[in-house]
C-alpha cells in the first residue's frame, strides 16, 4: 500500500447524535436531509443540515441498513428480515424473513443498487462464516455472496457495472462484474488488500464520481479513499476511534458525512473520544454518486 496524503482538513462534528452504533447514512436529494440508523438504538435518524434538527424514529429490533423508496419511506434490513417502512419508520409490510434465522444473524450493511433493487448482507454472530450478501426484489431474497462473517463495504461504480464488497474480518475489498438487468454478479477479484489488523477493519463504504472507493476503517480513526485500481489516494482523520460508514450529500453532493460507533464502546475509549457515536462531515474534493431509489415494481 502506497503512502497517502494525510489531509489537514478533516471531519467536523455536525450532529451530536450519540448513537450506540451509527450506520447506513443515505442522502435524500428530494428532502436535502441525511438519514442514518443506530443499529442498537434501535432507530432511523433524520438529520437536517440546514437547521441542525435531529429526529429519531424508534424501531422494535436492531436495524442494520436502509434505502430510500421511490414515492417515500424506506426499505430496511432488520434482524428479522427485510421490511417496508413508512416515512417515519413505521412498519408497512415484512417483505422477507431473514433466511439465516435470528438467533445468531441480523442484517448489517446494505443499500439500493443502481438497478433499483435492494442489496443487503448479514453478520454471523456465531462466527461460523454463514453470513451472505443478498439481493431483494419481487422474486424475494437471492444470495449473491456466501461464506461471510460480516458483510460490509457494499458500493457500486458510477457506471453501475461493478459491485464492491468486503468481509470485514478478511480485510480484502473485492470487485465483481455487476449486471443490472437481472441483479447478478460474476468475476470476483481482490482490488484492495488492507493490511491485516484485528483492531482496525474496513467497514462501510461509498463511491465518488471519479469511481474512487471511500471506506471507513473501524478502529483506526480514518476514512480512506482508494482509486478504482486499488491505490490508496488519501486518508482523512476522524476524531473518534471507530468510524463506520461514509456517505456523500449536500446540494452539490460534496459533503461527506460519516457515522460512528458510540456509547457501547469501552469506557476508556469513550473518555478519550467523548463524541463517539456522533455524526461528522467534511468538504470532499469531489462529488459523490447520488443514492438510487428502491423500485417496488422490479
Q: What is the set of active-site residues?
A: 203
Residue 61, annotated as binding a ligand: no
Half-sphere exposure of residue 53: CA atoms within 13 angstroms, side-chain side: 7
Between CA 203 and CA 237, with CA 23 as vertex, the angle to 5 degrees is 60
Residue 196, annotated as binding a ligand: no
Residue 159, annotated as binding a ligand: no
Q: CB atoms < 10 A from the CB of 90, how many?
A: 12
Residue 177, annotated as binding a ligand: no
- Residue corresponding to grid cell 464492491: 164
d(CA 262, CA 105): 22
Burial class (CB in 10 A: 0-12, 13-18, 19+), 199: exposed
SS3 string, 17-38, reads CCCCEEEEEEEECCCCEEEEEE
Who contacts 226 (Cβ-Cβ below 8 Å, separation ≥6)? 173, 191, 192, 212, 213, 214, 215, 232, 233
Residue 12, annotated as binding a ligand: no
Binding residues for a divalent metal cation: 23, 152, 203
Binding-site annotation, residues for substrate: 106, 108
Amino acid at each position: 500500500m502506497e503512502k497517502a496524503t494525510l489531509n489537514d482538513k478533516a471531519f467536523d462534528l455536525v450532529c451530536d447524535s450519540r448513537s450506540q452504533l451509527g450506520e447506513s447514512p443515505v442522502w435524500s436529494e428530494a428532502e436535502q436531509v441525511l438519514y442514518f440508523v443506530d443499529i442498537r438504538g434501535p432507530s432511523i435518524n433524520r438529520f437536517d443540515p440546514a437547521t441542525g434538527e435531529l429526529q429519531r424514529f424508534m424501531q422494535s429490533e436492531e436495524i442494520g441498513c436502509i434505502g430510500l423508496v421511490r414515492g417515500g419511506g424506506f426499505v430496511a434490513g432488520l434482524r428479522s428480515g427485510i421490511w417496508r417502512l413508512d416515512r417515519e419508520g413505521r412498519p408497512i409490510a415484512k417483505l422477507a424473513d431473514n433466511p439465516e434465522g435470528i438467533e445468531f444473524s441480523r442484517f448489517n450493511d446494505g443499500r439500493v443498487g443502481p438497478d433499483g433493487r435492494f442489496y443487503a448482507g448479514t453478520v454471523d454472530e456465531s462466527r461460523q462464516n454463514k453470513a451472505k450478501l443478498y439481493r431483494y426484489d419481487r422474486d424475494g431474497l437471492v444470495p449473491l455472496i456466501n461464506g461471510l462473517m460480516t458483510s460490509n463495504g457494499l458500493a457500486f461504480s458510477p457506471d453501475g457495472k461493478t459491485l464492491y464488497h468486503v468481509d470485514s474480518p478478511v480485510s480484502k475489498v473485492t470487485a465483481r462484474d455487476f449486471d443490472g438487468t437481472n441483479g447478478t454478479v460474476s468475476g470476483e477479484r481482490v482490488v484492495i488488500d488492507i493490511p491485516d489488523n484485528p483492531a482496525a477493519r474496513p467497514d462501510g463504504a461509498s463511491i465518488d464520481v471519479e469511481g474512487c472507493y471511500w471506506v471507513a476503517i473501524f478502529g483506526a480513526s480514518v476514512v480512506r479513499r482508494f482509486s478504482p485500481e486499488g491505490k490508496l489516494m488519501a486518508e482523512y482523520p476522524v476524531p473518534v476511534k471507530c468510524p463506520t460508514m461514509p456517505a456523500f450529500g449536500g446540494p452539490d453532493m460534496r459533503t461527506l458525512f460519516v457515522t460512528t460507533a458510540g456509547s457501547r464502546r469501552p469506557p476508556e475509549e469513550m473518555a478519550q473520544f467523548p463524541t463517539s457515536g456522533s455524526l461528522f462531515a467534511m468538504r470532499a474534493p469531489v462529488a459523490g454518486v447520488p443514492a438510487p431509489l428502491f423500485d417496488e415494481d422490479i
